[in-house]
Structure 1
Amino acid sequence: MSNLLASVLFAGVWLVYLAQPVSTAWKMPNHVRGVAGVIATITFGALYILHFNAARIGAFGVTGRQRTEFARRLMLYVPLATAALVTTLLVGQDGTATWVFLAVAGCWTFRLSIAIAIGLALIVAYELLAWLDPGWDRDASLAGAILLAMIAVSGAMLASRRQRALVDARRENARLAVQEERNRVARDLHDILGHSLTVITVKAELAGRLFDADPERARREVTDLERLSRDALVDVRRAVEGYREISLAGELARAREGFAAADIEADVPKAIDEVESDLRELFAWTVREATTNIIRHSAARHATITVGPTSISIQDDGHGPQGDASGNGLRGLRERAVQAGAVLTTRELSPGFELLVQTADRPVARPTDLQRTP
């Protein structure tokens, strides 16, 4: 109902220009012909509104449906053209005011080439009638009105279609964004929690078998199981929240993707259950900083991340940092290490570079240098 009302208002406001043929018909000496002319003009106006409401679908992009087939569009247009012809025959030259509406209706009924042909045909027909009929006055007002009206309506149709396309594009982008976020959460949950949940399952089964055979070990397994469960819960929350807090599992997953994207062969651990909980955030920052430096600056082809309970080492076979090895990133990471009771050390390999973070009170042996594949 609201769409019909909008059609009546949009199309009907211009029907004021049909007042001239109505007035002319009403004043005609032949009363019967005059009344018939008034009826024909009003009928044309009603058909024009109905035609606009039926043909605007697709033409103005009011819905996503395709425009109707040519035969149906022609059937909608023929009654309108017939009413315009009858009005002209009954009223005379003033009845050609309907021709402007007829040309405009052709714009939203047919494709542009056909609409232009209809407009030109109406202009030529008007000029011929004005030249052949001595009772008609010759002027260019109708031709100008037809051309201007067709240009205006074609512009409005183009703007409306582009607006509809923009709305559809925004809706599609929003849908894709939601889908991408769902995919991200699914991917992150799989990458981050897959191993943790597997370890939890295995440890739970092991603890169940050890309750009678080795109660002390079973107790340790249950304690470790509780820690792993809590860490997994934290990772779930961070994954769902979009990594508002950094996590070691998340950084390892992203490091794996980043190395793959940079065509760097990498050995990235999937198991982090042995890492002490209070060191995971520091190790996550370590992975992020080292991975960024390797991908951006080292030109490395191979990289290895080694994670232990109290240490993490990242090695690559690139050329290492240029100039001062204590840039802003490493300086900030060193400060984080100190706050966590750990130390950060770097050394050059032959070839390559190593970044090592380990607890200050429990140093561990350095991992074996990365060996390049010949």
Structure 2
Amino acid sequence: MAVPEGHRSGVAGTTAPTSVIHVTSAASITRSGSPPTIVRVVAAGVWLLFLSGPSLELVHHAEGWRKYLGLGALALFICLYLWTFARFAGTRSSYPENPKTVVPQWLCIAGLLALVAALAPGARDESLTALVFVAAIVVAVLPIRQGLTAVAALFILTELLGRLVTGWSENGDGLAIILAAAATWAFRMALMRRQQLVLAERELGELALEEERSRIARDLHDILGHSLTVIAVKTELAGRLLDVDTERTRAELQDLERLTRDALADVRATALGVRGIALPGEIASARSALEAAGIDPALPTVADEIPSRWRELFAWTIRESVTNVIRHSHAKHCTITMCDRRLSITDDGDGPAYAATDGRGLSGLRQRAALVGATITTGSGPGGKGFNVSVEVPS
């Protein structure tokens, strides 16, 4: 920092640092947003060189008990100063929301001031340099209002002692207090913003993790619900055909083996986050599952007119809706119609009985639709019978 005009010269007389907490590199910031303890201690300790002024005054000019009291007080001052920075500065505990929770910080500051008082008889006006370090401490560890008030009090105390005590000179220490407090405050604000950024990144990471867990749970529910329902239906069909049509039974058992392998592959792909489903494949799978359950399907044969960005949503809707039809509706017919902006699945079963409230599957569908701006509506089918699920996508 710039030395004020008329200030004492030489190492012993150089003004105390403008900031005791100095900027550390981005690599030295921990994941919590705070510098490691060793970094805080080193950053604060390098400026202890400026206490050479009072130390030389004690060694060369103080005598008797004043000399030994001053040297002991200076050594304790340095230890307490470093410990306070290591314990409080640059950590979340140094920025308490409740000013009443800063009793330990105030005790340390009171200890530092007591040591400065013990230093004064031997070091005389050189002891005022130590108040610059106290100013940096109060700005670094106290709440805003308390810190600013303490800095103002230290400035006034330094000015008064330098002018009123016979033989003492303020020698620019008041200005040094202001500059040290301002520089320390600037770094404190930068560090607080860094901590807030780290906290925000952590919260975003937790939200992303929770969303991924929800996606996997939703996908597994839909995959297993559909696959196990179709497997159960085909197993029942194979049991009925066992003594009637051996070839048809063998075909159904082979289909069951394929479905089981496909379900296992789908679960693995979902867990790895690489799974996608195809609309034409879901239409074909729905037709096969409905026929196996004895439900007459009226399904489209192609899906070319559906925009690619809506095909996955339509495919999931068909999978979940057809699963519900097979498991719950007791329907005889199921109709699927779709165009570029709308998909509708309608059955003639016990609509109100099994669709009075959304199950996990329909809730998952609503979440999928909301993510892409689409809308899911449910209700009775034509004439108040059966059940209908419709998806409308934005244009």
TM over 0.5: yes
Q: In the alignment, what sits opposite 1:58? A: 92
Q: In the alignment, what sits opposite 1:217? A: 248
Q: In the alignment, what sits opposite 1:142? A: 173
Identify the match of residue 279 of structure 2 among 224, 228, 248: 248
- Which whole-Å CA distance do the structure 2 matches of 1:27 and 1:317 have between them? 92
Identify the match of residue 68 of structure 2 among 29, 32, 35: 35
- For residue 5 of structure 1, report the CA deviation from its aligned partner: 3.4
Identify the match of residue 198 of structure 1 among 229, 245, 249: 229
Identify the match of residue 45 of structure 1 among 71, 74, 78: 78
Q: In the alignment, what sits opposite 1:271? A: 286
2:227 alignment partner, SS class: helix
- Which whole-Å CA distance do the structure 2 matches of 1:144 and 1:150 have between them? 10
CA separation of 1:224 and 1:67: change in aligned 2, threshold 3 A: farther
Summarize deviations over 1:286-330 as a string: whole Å, max 9, x none.
5444947xx9xxxxxxxx99xxxxx98524799xxxxxxxxxxxx
Misfit runs of 4+, over 4 Å: 64-68, 240-246, 249-252, 282-288
Summarize deviations over 1:221-243 as a string: whole Å, max 9, x none.
22332343354445445544545
- For residue 17 of structure 1, report the CA deviation from its aligned partner: 0.8
Q: In the alignment, what sits opposite 2:143? A: 111
Segments of structure 1 that go 5 or more residues without pairing to the other structure are 253-268, 277-281, 296-303, 306-310, 319-369
Q: In the alignment, what sits opposite 1:102? A: 134
* 1:172 counterpart = 2:196: no
CA separation of 1:175 and 1:285: change in aligned 2, threshold 3 A: farther
CA separation of 1:273 and 1:142: change in aligned 2, threshold 3 A: farther
- Which whole-Å CA distance do the structure 1 matches of 2:150 and 2:306 have between them? 71
Summarize deviations over 1:203-234 as a string: whole Å, max 9, x none.
11332343235434322322332343354445
Q: In the alignment, what sits opposite 2:338? A: 314
- Which whole-Å CA distance do the structure 2 matches of 1:129 and 1:21 have between them? 16
- Which whole-Å CA distance do the structure 2 matches of 1:286 and 1:80 have between them? 79
Q: In the alignment, what sits opposite 2:162? A: 130
- Which whole-Å CA distance do the structure 1 matches of 2:220 and 2:194 have between them? 39
Contact 1:77 1:109 in 2 (8 A): no
- Which whole-Å CA distance do the structure 2 matches of 1:66 and 1:200 have between them? 62
CA separation of 1:242 and 1:40: change in aligned 2, threshold 3 A: closer
Paired-residue identity, %: 35
- For residue 75 of structure 1, report the CA deviation from its aligned partner: 2.1
Deviates more, 1:107-116 or 1:234-243: 234-243
CA separation of 1:82 and 1:143: change in aligned 2, threshold 3 A: same
Question: How many pairs are equivalent?
Answer: 280
Deviates more, 1:201-210 or 1:227-236: 227-236
- For residue 247 of structure 1, report the CA deviation from its aligned partner: 1.9
Contact 1:290 1:314 in 2 (8 A): no
Summarize deviations over 1:162-192 as a string: whole Å, max 9, x none.
2222223223322322222222122122224
Contact 1:127 1:138 in 2 (8 A): yes
Contact 2:63 2:122 in 1 (8 A): no
- For residue 46 of structure 1, report the CA deviation from its aligned partner: 1.1
Q: What do you get for the CA RMSD once the two structures are aligned?
A: 4.0
- Which whole-Å CA distance do the structure 1 matches of 2:98 and 2:302 have between them? 57
CA separation of 1:53 and 1:234: change in aligned 2, threshold 3 A: closer
TM-score for both structures, normalised by structure 1: 0.63
